[in-house]
Amino acid sequence: MQEGVGTTAKPGKMVKTDVPVGSEATPVTVIQPRKGLVGIDFQELYRYRELLYFLTWRDVKVRYKQTVLGAAWAILQPFLTMVVFTLFFGKMAKMPSDGIPYPIFSYAGLLPWSYFANALSNSGNSLVGSANLITKVYFPRLIIPMGATLAGLVDFAIAMVVLGGMMVYYHFVPSWGMFLFPVLVFFTFLLATGTGLYLSALNVKYRDVRYVIPFFIQLWLFASPVIYPTSLLHGPYRWVLSLNPMVGLIETYRASMLGHKPIPWEQLGLACGITVLVFLSGILYFRRMEREFADVV
């Protein structure tokens, strides 16, 4: 008897198998979540790296399309926010700033916060914004929120130029702590991606999440040491606040770039540990909800 070729599915793959010719079996491709600790097929993500690049670059171009100032908005947003914070909190409220000028204190905190907040907002709305793409072709859905998070790194790099100018103006010399900078950016990316995976998956099922995201980010801002230093808090209150991973990350950003105080290793370690938990649990939740995206998006 002659044999034909049919298909059968394994998690995340399509495998050929022999079936009798003339049988009623029809070639079918079944897409199933990959089994494993977090269900990520890293080889598959690598194969779709060009799509990740395309989605990231698309988000960058769409953000500044038909704008007068273009990429200058990446500088103006944190800079003007720093000016407002300096006037109201630095001058009027006399907020302490760890012994350094309040403008550079607030701007050094606004840099990572602005990236995190924008990445969280964009990734949280990314799946709904790509509904046509999700319902037509298959690709790892993780690429969509990851692309939205990566796109914010372009703004982050542009805004760093202003911080460099402020460090020259206020006579701050970079210390060895600057070598921690890539590590801090990586963990900020992981935290934004992990939280964005939760929000993007929830946003597909519950569309009012899009209205909750800005309010959620605003509350998170006041729970992070952007406007104030953690030295204002003492005892258990300081460590309760440190459960917010952005606390350890922002404080380390400032200490590593400005060198005005030692690196807060305990806060950084706690922040990195919580960030990894948020990232892994976000992937698990995203993968569990992924099978319903095409039906409800």
Q: Are residues 20 and 146 in the same domain?
A: no
- What's the rounded mean pLDDT across residues 124-153? 85
Does residue 102 have a pLDDT over 80?
Answer: yes
Q: Are residues 166 and 196 in the same domain?
A: yes
Does residue 6 have a pLDDT over 50?
Answer: no
Q: Are residues 27 and 41 in the same domain?
A: no
Residues in the chain, how many? 297
Q: Are residues 129 and 166 in the same domain?
A: yes
CA angle 187, 191, 195 (to 5 degrees): 170
Q: Are residues 141 and 204 in the same domain?
A: yes
Cα dihedral: 18, 19, 25, 28 (round 10): 0
The number of domains in the chain is 2
Instruction: Kindly list the distances between the CA atom of residue 91 and the CA atoms of 34, 86, 145, 169, 237, in Å, as whole numbers in the listed order.
Output: 55, 6, 39, 19, 26
Range with the poorest average pLDDT among 11-20, 209-218, 242-251, 256-265? 11-20
Q: Are residues 4 and 80 in the same domain?
A: no
Q: State residue 3's pLDDT score.
A: 40
pLDDT: which is higher, 105 or 128: 105
Range of the domain at 24: 1-32
Range with the poorest average pLDDT among 27-31, 118-122, 127-131, 240-244? 27-31
Q: Are residues 57 and 192 in the same domain?
A: yes
Q: Are residues 28 and 64 in the same domain?
A: no
Q: Are residues 165 and 183 in the same domain?
A: yes
Q: Are residues 241 and 262 in the same domain?
A: yes
- What's the rounded mean pLDDT across residues 202-210? 86
Instruction: Pick from 36-45, 173-182, 188-197 the range whose average pLDDT is largest.
Output: 188-197
**Averaged confidence pLDDT in the chain:** 83
Please give the Cα distance from 213 to 208 (Å, whole number). Answer: 9
Q: Are residues 226 and 164 in the same domain?
A: yes
Q: State residue 132's pLDDT score.
A: 79
Does residue 4 have a pLDDT over 50?
Answer: no
Does residue 293 have a pLDDT over 70?
Answer: no
Q: Are residues 164 and 250 in the same domain?
A: yes
Please give the Cα distance from 201 to 210 (Å, whole number). Answer: 11
40-97 tens-digit pLDDT: 667 777 788 888 888 888 888 777 776 666 667 788 888 999 999 999 999 998 898 9
Does residue 252 have a pLDDT over 90?
Answer: yes
- What's the rounded mean pLDDT across residues 160-186? 91
